[in-house]
Chains A and B, each alone.
Chain A
């Protein structure tokens, strides 16, 4: 039953460009990018118990690096992508050293402060980042000579990246290391007593999450061909966190569902109402007060209850 559903979902995802219009294909690409981003945040929030409010830093910095290297310095997309990802991962390594001096709310406040500093930099260093105007006129890469300009081609590119990301992160959390990560989340002192190094486990996870945040940032800038400081803002971090929590943090598929919901809500709502931030705030209040465990666990509880009844 589970396999049939998985195969059907896979077939649907692969064949989407053959029957859907460009608008929906583009929407699906955006969902895939948001899903990678939410999955990387889920490593921290769900499996590591580290609630970060600055995850947009990695998306934004990777996107800005790629944009600057390709548009200003005339680099090719290949080396630019590698340097962007490496730079973002290195930044995550430094931020991790700072932020992981604290846990819990202290960690949250430090990540928030660090990301606000980057956001401020993107706004104010206008001779580098072009400030509020953002960097426009970017191009998409052509891997193996294949143009990604059409909606369908880019969708497949994003799909491959998303599947790879999903598998890599699922393997990460189901590995022995992933078990020790969950152990550190639940019982840091016992884990330390057992000879594990909680700090190192958290830091490695932090860097790994930063790496995938950078990957989603690259896809983000390829998709939009434009980058603006708002992608570094708290709102952007908060949207991702809302996706993770709404979908169900600490579950492998929940963040994907949550990210898709947030994105759809944002797309459809912004067609009707101007006040996306207010809606985002209200949804936050609603989710936290009404569905604290998230939608995905809520639904699986519901289906389990229904199955129990039908038997």
Chain B
């Protein structure tokens, strides 16, 4: 019983991390029609920044580190969007290749700066004690992480559905040219959304640190999971990213626990199933 509950909680916490990663990816794809292959590298950069900051400054709070790393990563993402991606507006293939090139640069820079050994991120002291409920023991940090993801999902939903900025983003997603014609600054929206998406990924990287720790190749481990999440949930859909993240979180965690060697193959199955019957993804719109 304890096994199932712990693995279930692990699934939820992996799903939470995947949501922090894939919601930004999905948002960027929805508005900019851009498969941002740098996203995994931004996540890893966040983890490294958090790990280094927490190692260098004693007593630094994990949450402060997460916000700080998120802001730094968002700034890097914003610069990248302004300096490189805007030059390639008419060339979607070029944009993808540039994001791929950028991901190589970032991951190699992390390796160069911080070496090949994995750097642990300590769990905050206040959350180290396990939570006991119903006669079972839960690692508190993972519960808090799930709360963070749900909080982020609610905040993003509120941002998209209830604010003026969100209304402009939705208009840009639906019809970019018409949005421009009625005076919405779509190019600025691109930058804002790119910063927002990469920033969430960077902060998510720090929050994932206590579970994953920072190591070279983290980007390559996370990016395919995010891709599968958005293929499954539907590209550009926040709800799709949310549901897809937890589905993949469960499948991957239980797959790894029960059939360690085949976990990667099991990941395939939902993806093939969805592609076969609903190529636009569970919550994707046709033509999106």
Cβ A101 vs Cβ B276 within 8 A: yes
Cα(A233)–Cα(B216), bound, Å: 14
Cβ of A102 under 8 Å from chain B: yes
Question: Residue of A at shortest CB range from B278?
Answer: A101
Cβ of A125 under 8 Å from chain B: yes
Cβ of A275 under 8 Å from chain B: yes
A-chain residues with CB within 8 Å of residue B223 when the two chains form the complex: 116
Cβ A278 vs Cβ B220 within 8 A: no
Cβ A277 vs Cβ B108 within 8 A: yes
How extensive is the interface on chain A, given as a class? 35 or more
Cβ A285 vs Cβ B98 within 8 A: yes
Given known contacts A113-B228, A113-B231, A124-B260, A281 and B35 CB-to-CB distance under 8 angstroms: no
Cα(A289)–Cα(B271), bound, Å: 34
Cβ of A98 under 8 Å from chain B: yes
Cβ A278 vs Cβ B265 within 8 A: no
Cβ B105 vs Cβ A278 within 8 A: yes
Cβ B100 vs Cβ A53 within 8 A: yes
A-chain residues with CB within 8 Å of residue B224 when the two chains form the complex: 112-113, 116-117, 120
A-chain residues with CB within 8 Å of residue B101 when the two chains form the complex: 280-285, 288
- Which of B37, B94, B279 is the one whose CB lies under 8 Å from A292? B94
Cβ A101 vs Cβ B108 within 8 A: no
Cβ A282 vs Cβ B264 within 8 A: no
Cα(A279)–Cα(B277), bound, Å: 41
Cα(A158)–Cα(B260), bound, Å: 39
Cβ of B91 under 8 Å from chain A: yes
Cβ of B92 under 8 Å from chain A: yes
Cβ of B97 under 8 Å from chain A: yes
Cβ B265 vs Cβ A245 within 8 A: no
- Which of A104, A116, A233, A278 is the one whose CB lies under 8 Å from B109? A278
Question: Residue of B at shortest CB range from A105?
Answer: B35
- Chain B interface, DSSP helix/strand/loop, else mixed: helix
- Which of B33, B112, B260, B265 is the one whose CB lies under 8 Å from A105? B33
Cα(A201)–Cα(B263), bound, Å: 34
Cβ B112 vs Cβ A284 within 8 A: no
Cβ A106 vs Cβ B265 within 8 A: no
Q: Shortest Cβ distance from B21 into chain A, in angstroms?
A: 14
Q: Mark A51-86, 1 if CB is under 8 A from B, else 0.
A: 101000000000000000000000000000000000
Cβ of B62 under 8 Å from chain A: no
Cβ A285 vs Cβ B112 within 8 A: no
Question: Residue of A at shortest CB range from B102?
Answer: A281
Cβ of A238 under 8 Å from chain B: yes
B-chain residues with CB within 8 Å of residue A278 when the two chains form the complex: 104-105, 108-109, 112
Cβ B104 vs Cβ A280 within 8 A: yes
Question: Residue of B at shortest CB range from A277?
Answer: B108
- Chain A interface, DSSP helix/strand/loop, else mixed: helix
Q: Shortest Cβ distance from B34 into chain A, in angstroms?
A: 8
Q: Mark B209-228, 1 if CB is under 8 A from A, else 0.
A: 00000000000100110011
B-chain residues with CB within 8 Å of residue A292 when the two chains form the complex: 91, 94
Cβ B231 vs Cβ A106 within 8 A: yes
Given known contacts A113-B228, A125-B261, A238 and B94 CB-to-CB distance under 8 angstroms: no
- Which of A106, A127, A241, A275 is the one whose CB lies under 8 Å from B108? A275
A-chain residues with CB within 8 Å of residue B230 when the two chains form the complex: 109
158-212 of chain A: CB within 8 A of chain B: none
A-chain residues with CB within 8 Å of residue B88 when the two chains form the complex: 288-289
255-288 of chain B: CB within 8 A of chain A: 260-261, 263-265, 267-268, 271-272, 275-276, 279
Cβ of A26 under 8 Å from chain B: no
Given known contacts A288-B94, A289-B84, A110 and B275 CB-to-CB distance under 8 angstroms: yes
- Which of A98, A116, A277 is the one whose CB lies under 8 Å from B104? A277
A-chain residues with CB within 8 Å of residue B149 when the two chains form the complex: none
Cα(A101)–Cα(B286), bound, Å: 13
Q: Shortest Cβ distance from B277 into chain A, in angstroms?
A: 10
Cβ A109 vs Cβ B105 within 8 A: no
A-chain residues with CB within 8 Å of residue B267 when the two chains form the complex: 117
Q: Mark B94-118, 1 if CB is under 8 A from A, else 0.
A: 1011101111110111001000000
Cβ of B55 under 8 Å from chain A: no
- Which of A102, A242, A245, A282 is the one whose CB lies under 8 Å from B279? A102
Given known contacts A106-B231, A117-B268, A284-B101, A234 and B220 CB-to-CB distance under 8 angstroms: yes
- Which of A104, A112, A234 is the one whose CB lies under 8 Å from B92? A104
Which chain B residues have a beta carbon within 8 Å of chain A's beta carbons?
29, 33-35, 37, 84, 87-88, 91-94, 96-98, 100-105, 107-109, 112, 220, 223-224, 227-228, 230-231, 235, 260-261, 263-265, 267-268, 271-272, 275-276, 279
A-B contact pairs, 7 of them (CB 8 A): A106-B231, A116-B227, A117-B224, A124-B261, A275-B108, A282-B101, A284-B104
What 4 additional pairs, Cβ within 8 angstroms, besides A116-B227, A121-B264, A278-B105?
Answer: A53-B100, A117-B267, A282-B101, A289-B98
